[in-house]
Chain A
Amino acid sequence: MDSETQEIIDYFLTESRESVAEVEPLLIGLEAGGAHVDRATIDKIFRLFHSMKGSAGFLEFQHVESVTHQAETLLDRVRNGSLTFDPPLVDLLCRALDFTNDALDAIEAMLTDASLAEEAAGLIQRLKGFGAAPTAEPARAPVAPAHVATKPPSAPPLAAPPPPAAEAWTGPQPAAPRGEINVFAPVAAPSAAETDSGLSSLFDSLSRGAKIERSLPTPEASSANVAPTPRAPTPPAPAPAKTAASPHRLGEILIEAGLASPAQIEEALKDKRLPVGQKLVQMQVVPPERIQEALAVQSARRGDPDKAAEEEDGKGRSRAEYLRVDVRKLDQLMDLIGELIIAETAVTHGPARDTEVDGSQKAAVQLNRVTRGLQDVAMSLRMVPIEPTFKKMVRLVRDLSRRQGKRITLEISGEDTEVDKSVVEAISDPLVHLIRNSIDHGVEDVDERIRVGKAPEGRITLSARQQAGEIRIEVRDDGRGLDRARILKKGVERGLVKGDGAELSDAEVYRLIFEPGFSTAAAVTDISGRGVGMDVVKQNIESVKGRVEVQSTPGAGSVMALRIPLTLAIIEGMLVRVGTSRFTLPILSITETVGVTARDVTRLTNGAEVVRVRGRLLPVYRLHELYELKPDSTRIEDGLLVVIEDGNDRVCVLVDELIGQRQTVVKSLSGYLGSVRGLAGCTVLGDGSISLIIDVAKLIHDVHAAA
């Protein structure tokens, strides 16, 4: 396997996975639309299947190719009205997508999808047999050759008479001798989009000296009075009717978009000295940026009809404007910028700061501004919209709710929120678990909902938003809510709770469901489910320094909120000193700094200290005791108390001195050392020394756990 082929396969995998992810919500959206089937969406789904088929054919992944081909055939029958778009069809097409995903995994691992032959054959049977195939199937021209996988491999397809099946054209012949001519049986003129991708990949493969294949016309194809003709590299068929129908003239586009009235366009057209666009701007009918957009639409429509169709779908972003970049390169970039910030801190906070050399102050400020700008841009490179992750849940909700006989709608909001790529990876599984949990245990079935006076249709809301340096992702359902008593009972049984737990807050009780092995199925409802991996949720979220919060109202539903820091790489920190050690506290978790006298401090019987700050009693953590350090002084009045908070928890940490605010590049504390009590990682200071970064939530948790 040469690196070029590997690259092509990688590209194929990424692209196909994206296609699958895109098709799923479209299918389910169509299904929800009921009887009215949106033609444009069907076309889009068709195109996505088609491009997968084309690429799979080129790369000779025959099972992917033949399954997507069959799916495409079904969609075509929907298009021409011989098949109705109904839930069983959606089920089957979803199965085809699942298969494709499996096959893609197999290809990634073994570079072939051969291991899936059996599944492919079964699925193809189902796809073919779906909805009692009409006798003379108007088979589409097999532009990209596919393989009839159901045929026993022993039958040499070239020599044997074509089987009587409706679709008997044969695909790539493994034994086909080199140098044979490609024979195709074009039946109907394929759409431009189809010809385009299918042929171009075919020509690609030919020009690369790929194996030349041939396929035989089927009896049907022959009788359809098109003789098999050697396919010459003809240009794609002219733009299909659909695009021809969409307006090409700027005025028409503007009218279509509702930006100008026909009368206004008439008016603008009268002035022959100026182009219509400029005239409209002059007339103050349309703002200039709208004209630019319309011009973009126009040029897209004049060009590639496929792209134009995408524009119509509201996806104005053309693929060409994106660049695929190896994530490792971005990581490298982030590392370098981290170094730069450390160097910048060394300069701006170093000894040179106090020496007023010709405008050094000014230069330092400028340097600071540039590095921060650079940092922002670099961070944004890693940011991706959360939309694809959310869209994956559409299918999950549909399948699970149907299986359980529940009626649930999924509402998605804030899907354009951007998060770091690593965050997307970390939340994907937790979201599945949370939603599954909501469906299994939260939302009641139709009968029960009606009985308790709720709408028969349950509702799960998936939302994302940015909030104070964090991303907050919520899974909200309007089900029965968590059952405090039962969770508590289970917690007591399992020894997770001391005593009867009556004094525990709701939040503390709900936290139990994230304990490993805590069987929510038995604890919360009687519905038996698989072990729902809520501990996985907690683990994954903690791996990106996030937290899970649970709110629940009995009878009215629950909210699971994932709170994840916006960036894992660089935070605003407060540098503090304890003896010779320096720690960094995240600025966002500091509420205030107070100096207290011994009188303000109360020592509890267990030795713990509490101090009254603004009418609230807060525990005091002496960092020197926690980390066995030698402080300047152990007297509380000599030091400073920094009040830090995590959600509702608030504690004070005793430090010797505040050094100052720093832009802090978070580095992991060597995987060799594993996870260390109360720490998020470390950072390199301007003078080259290291400061440990405190993770407030973890500190509070770890101290509690140790107590």
Chain B
Amino acid sequence: MPSISTAQDHDYAELQERTKYLTFILGSESYGLDIMYVREIIGMQQFTMVPDVPAFVKGVINLRGKVIPVMDVRLRFRMPERAYDDRTCIIVIHVGDWLVGLVVDTVSEVLDIPQADVELPPQAFGRNNDHFIAGMGKVGDQVRMLLDAEKLVGAPPRAAATA
């Protein structure tokens, strides 16, 4: 029955077109991360250093018995380091086989951004972190940089470090 399947396709397409993003702040800018990747948000924790990893990997933390690595997104973006405060958060994301914690200045909100309002990042972005950007989401008169979680976490840092 074609009419039904068309209706379903339509619903599905509409679902596809809307994505929820967790937005967070680094310095003066706001970024979004597809909520599908986000496991949880926790406060700052004591981490244990791990030798021989790039500077942006701050170490490992104990998340209820699971040991997960934590990266400072500021350092990943080569932004200046900033002292952690009580608003500093760790966003735990699940990418591929890994759980990874992302240290951000603060988490703001969850936004619904229709696909129609997402533009590809401008070609000549002129910043060294542009390849982490999956798209630009327009929310009202503001723009949020939507991050590509896979690229952000990237290959294991050892490989990246030697590259």
Contacts and interface: CB of A to CB of B under 8 A. Distances in A.
A-B complex is real: yes
A672 B62 contact: no
Given A581-B48, A627-B49, A673 B69 contact: yes
A676 B46 contact: no
A668 to B, nearest CB: 8
Contact of B48 (A626, A668, A689): A689
B53 interface: yes
Interface string B64-95: 01111100000000000000000000000000
Interface residues of B, number: 25
Contacts of A691: 48
Contact of B98 (A671, A679, A684): A671
A690 B48 contact: yes
Contact of B62 (A668, A671, A684): A684
Interface in B39-72: 46, 48-53, 57, 60-62, 65-69
Interface string A642-678: 0000000000000000000000000111111111111
A631 to B, nearest CB: 14
B114 interface: no
Interface string B134-159: 00000000000000000001001111
B139 to A, nearest CB: 31
Interface of B: 46, 48-53, 57, 60-62, 65-69, 97-100, 153, 156-159
Contact of A338 (B52, B57, B65, B68): B65
Contacts of B153: 672
B51 A672 contact: no
Contact of A672 (B46, B52, B66, B69): B69
B67 A670 contact: yes
Instruction: Identify whether the interface residues of A are mostly helix, strand, loop, or mixed.
Output: mixed
Nearest to B97: A671
A674 B156 contact: yes
A209 interface: no
B62 A628 contact: no
A332 to B, nearest CB: 12
Q: Which of A335, A673, A682, A688 has the most CB of B within 10 A?
A: A673
A682 B48 contact: yes
Contact of A671 (B49, B57, B156): B156
Contact of A342 (B49, B50, B51, B65): B65
Contacts of B48: 581, 682, 689-692
Interface in A330-387: 335, 338-339, 342
B157 A339 contact: no
Contacts of B68: 670
B50 A692 contact: yes
24 contacts: A338-B65, A581-B49, A626-B51, A627-B51, A629-B49, A669-B60, A670-B98, A670-B99, A673-B53, A673-B57, A673-B60, A673-B69, A673-B156, A673-B158, A674-B157, A676-B50, A676-B53, A677-B52, A682-B48, A689-B46, A689-B62, A690-B61, A691-B48, A692-B48
Q: Which of B49, B50, B98 has the most CB of A within 10 A?
A: B50
Given A682-B48, A684-B62, A690-B61, A669 B156 contact: no
A669 B50 contact: yes
